[in-house]
């Protein structure tokens, strides 16, 4: 998600089911209002340190990450104590009572997490093995990729890719390659929000030419 360092004006970020473990690149996104991080690899609530100075953040979806732990009350109270401006956490509205209770039950985060040896990207052996052995995770990654691909195509005025056609090449990819493609798709979506009409027309023309080239190649192979 390092691309976010170059997008200080981005307002909505969707990175669910994407193997993310480090939120440091988000700390410069001062206009960020909605952040969706469900089912990633965020191990510590100390990652919230990087979100504490985002004045417009109102919606956060962080559930199904390791940092949520086994105590949902403590998790929610800690998030709300450090991000008291949130209006919705994990698709549940935040109440004034919760914000008051968070001052008592929540843990204040004063420092970022200790630097890990592994950066965002392709996970190491244990993490990779877990992903390969979890059918649900693999399926969600595929659904996420298809959804993001079709969002791009919709914004370009193109027809969506059918699931059967999309999945025909996905299972042959390695887990690392699949996640890399997801990151590229996310980067494209983020950058497209920064374009005006002229920029989007250039993208549409470029994508159209590439699609024609792929279609021509497919016909030649057949």
Predicted confidence (pLDDT) at residue 128 exceeds the cutoff of 80? no
Predicted confidence (pLDDT) at residue 19 exceeds the cutoff of 70? yes
- pLDDT band per the 50, 70, 90 thresholds, residue 5: confident
pLDDT given for residue 15 in this prediction: 87
**pLDDT tens-place string over residues 27-77:** 989 999 999 999 999 999 999 999 999 999 999 999 999 999 999 999 999
Torsion sign, CA atoms 196, 198, 202, 204: positive
pLDDT given for residue 212 in this prediction: 79
Greater model confidence, 68 or 168? 68
Helix (H, G, I), strand (E, B) or coil at 98: helix
pLDDT given for residue 156 in this prediction: 59
- Encoded tokens for 65: 């990450």
**Mean pLDDT computed over every residue of the chain:** 77
Sheet holding 12-14, edge to edge: 12-14, 34-36, 59-61, 88-89, 92-93
pLDDT given for residue 121 in this prediction: 45
Q: Which alpha helices (DSSP H) does 83-196 contain, by range?
A: 96-105, 125-133, 135-155, 163-167, 175-192
**pLDDT tens-place string over residues 75-106:** 999 999 999 999 999 989 999 999 999 999 99
Percent of all residues in the chain with a pLDDT value above 70, rounded to a whole number: 65
Matching residue, tokens 């939120």: 23
Torsion sign, CA atoms 26, 30, 12, 90: positive
The predicted model scores a pTM of 0.56
Domains and CATH numbers, the chain: 2-105 (3.80.10.10)
């Amino acid at each position: 998600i390092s691309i976010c360092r170059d997008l200080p004006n981005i307002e909505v970020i969707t990175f669910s089911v994407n193997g993310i473990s480090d939120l440091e690149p988000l700390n410069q996104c001062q206009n960020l209002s909605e952040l969706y991080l469900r089912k990633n690899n965020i191990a510590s609530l100390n990652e919230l340190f990087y979100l504490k100075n985002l004045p417009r953040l109102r919606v956060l979806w962080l559930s199904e990450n390791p940092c949520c732990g086994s105590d949902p009350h403590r998790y929610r109270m800690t998030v709300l104590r450090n991000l008291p401006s949130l209006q919705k956490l994990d698709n549940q509205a935040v109440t004034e009572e919760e914000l008051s209770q968070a001052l008592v039950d929540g843990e204040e985060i004063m420092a970022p997490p200790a630097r890990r040896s592994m950066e965002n990207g392709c996970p190491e052996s244990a993490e990779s093995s877990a992903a390969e052995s979890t059918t649900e995770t693999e399926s969600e990654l595929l659904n996420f990729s298809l959804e993001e691909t079709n969002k791009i195509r919709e914004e370009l005025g193109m027809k969506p890719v059918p699931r059967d056609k999309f999945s025909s090449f996905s299972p042959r990819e390695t887990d690392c390659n699949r996640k890399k493609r997801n990151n590229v798709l996310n980067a494209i979506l983020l950058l497209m929000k920064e374009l005006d009409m002229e920029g989007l027309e250039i993208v549409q023309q470029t994508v159209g030419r590439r699609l024609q080239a792929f279609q021509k190649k497919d016909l030649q192979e057949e």
